A and B are shown apart, each in its own frame.
Chain A
Amino acid sequence: MSALPLIAHDRPDAVIAWRHGQPICAQQFLLDVAALAQRLPASMHVLNFCADRYRFAVGLGAALVRGKCSILPSAHAPEVIRQLRAFAPDVFCLSDDPQCPIALPQLLYTDASAATASAPADFQVPLIAATQRAGYLFTSGSSGAPVPHAKTWGKLVRCVHAEVSRLPVADLAGCAILGTVPAQHMYGFESTVMLPLQCGAALCAERPFFPADIAAALQAVPGPRVLVSTPLHLRALLAAAQALPPLELIVSATAMLPAGLAREVESRYHAPLLEIYGSTETGEMASRRTAREEQWQLFPDVQLSTDAQHCWAHGGHIEQRTALVDVLEPSGAGRFLLHGRTADLVNIAGKRSSLAHLNHQLQSIAGVQDGAYFVRDDAQASLAGVTRLGALVVAPKLDAASILQALRQRIDPAFLPRPLLLVEQLPRNATGKLPQHTLRALTALAAEQQPHLFA
């Protein structure tokens, strides 16, 4: 395998995207890719910030045909962008937002289609070298700097075909795939962009947010329809008793889906729900029909091995042997049980980080002498099932509002602490460690003294 086609659509008039209820054909997509490719500057690295999924896909295609590498960070806070510039000094931002907040050289891409498809005489799908570095995705490192994970075109394509082989749908070609997740994160990138491009389906440009938006966006496209979503959005759909048009398939990832919720979704929407397991490092690597089975099945050729410390994933589309951050129990024949996350990891409504990373960011704020995040009890979950993190901070000269303001510059707002408690000192033990149970005890004490800070 030396070169692989950019898209799997084999006819110029095959629908490759839906945008505002209008179809866009494969020929048009290739013309848009070629037109944007000519506009890209000489730099190697493109931060693709396009919110419109069609423009994102055109941006990805244009970067690929020009041999460029797409940069897809997990957050866009100013501090993250500064660190990205250190990683790739030539990086520029491809954005469809004229008020784009990213502090990088900008290439604005707001036109839907630069050229109009005429006679479909010359339909040539570009071939991309399998070894070409197509993108970098990032995880938040415990040292504060984002950790890059390189993705080659060949492995990305292989991962999507592995995913397709697990989907309980005979043929995705001709399906409209709607995502409630952004294209810039690994799951959204694979399942809402790469999947439609590589299996002849149509992506939906919109990224609906509220339950009523999801219904309207699905209504705007013809069947068969696939919904790519998260436990957060699925729970919201059920809580709002939202009616949806018929679905062929529902896909969920980013956070563990409770079996009860999976069964409710399947029975409410009369469609199979496939849950996908993966990470930024490995990409999607396993799936299960959560309503019916507890065990996960690995994607073809992916393997697990365990040592004293970790469970490792390797083989198949996985770029390199990777220590998994979750607790997995292999049960043979490519199957495993998932027992949750290792202690340091946090997942807030599908957004992942680690306590080490968040603590580092908190402690890096000028005026903060010490600080530590803690995990709150799940019993404190909100209506949509989200439990936030709390933090204890030693900062005699700062107030909570200014600390939150500084954190906002550094991390995704989902990780802003609730509550943020100012204390005189943290009860570190002799080795400087702060056991979570000590933090919780201190928090309980603070809750007694300042009950208004706790809901």
Chain B
Amino acid sequence: MSQPALPTQPSPPPDPLALERELAQLIVKGLNLPLQPDQIDPEAALYGEGLGLDSIDILEIALIVSKQYGIQLRADNQENTQIFRSLRHFARYVAEQRVK
């Protein structure tokens, strides 16, 4: 299996914007998105329109945040619509839930 290696675990970023940037980098690298991390509008929807991610991407993101932050995403989580509303919402969720 040829899989891109995840970058080694960075130390927890001190501010929300740094976490946003870190997530943008992880997402762009992990999903092979044809854009630069800073081109992701932090307020735009991640799913469907906006960044244009689909359900395969969301599964990939689940793997990334499970490895990187020890977070287990659940589809029946009532907050999911909120979580994927934008990179900013997603970063907020990761900051609250991360265990590493």
Contacts and interface: CB of A to CB of B under 8 A. Distances in A.
A384 B56 contact: yes
Given A212-B73, A378-B2, A382-B30, A239 B63 contact: yes
Given A239-B63, A383-B3, A208 B75 contact: yes
Contact of A210 (B3, B32, B59): B59
Contacts of A235: 1
A185 to B, nearest CB: 14
Interface string A216-244: 10000000000000001101100110000
B4 interface: yes
A349 interface: yes
A212 B72 contact: yes
Interface in A193-228: 208-213, 216
A240 B63 contact: yes
A388 B32 contact: yes
A260 B1 contact: yes
Interface string B35-68: 1100100000000110010111011101110110
A249 interface: no
B33 A455 contact: yes
A454 interface: yes
Contacts of A232: 56, 59
B29 interface: yes
A209 B59 contact: yes
The size bracket of the interface on B is 20 to 34
B1 A382 contact: no
B34 interface: yes
Given A209-B75, A211-B66, A404-B52, A384 B34 contact: no
Contacts of B64: 383
B80 to A, nearest CB: 10
Nearest to A450: B34
A414 B74 contact: no
A51 to B, nearest CB: 12
Nearest to A214: B75
Contacts of A405: 49
Interface string A310-334: 0000000000000000000000000
Interface of A: 208-213, 216, 232-233, 235-236, 239-240, 258, 260-261, 348-349, 378-386, 388, 404-405, 408, 413-414, 416, 418-420, 452-455
22 contacts: A209-B59, A211-B66, A211-B72, A212-B73, A213-B76, A261-B1, A349-B56, A382-B3, A382-B4, A382-B30, A383-B4, A383-B63, A384-B56, A384-B60, A385-B1, A386-B56, A413-B48, A419-B34, A452-B34, A452-B35, A452-B36, A452-B39
Given A404-B52, A452-B36, 8 more contacts: A210-B72, A213-B74, A382-B30, A383-B3, A383-B4, A384-B60, A452-B34, A455-B31
Q: Which 3 pairs from chain A and chain B are nearest by CB?
A: A419-B34, A455-B32, A413-B54
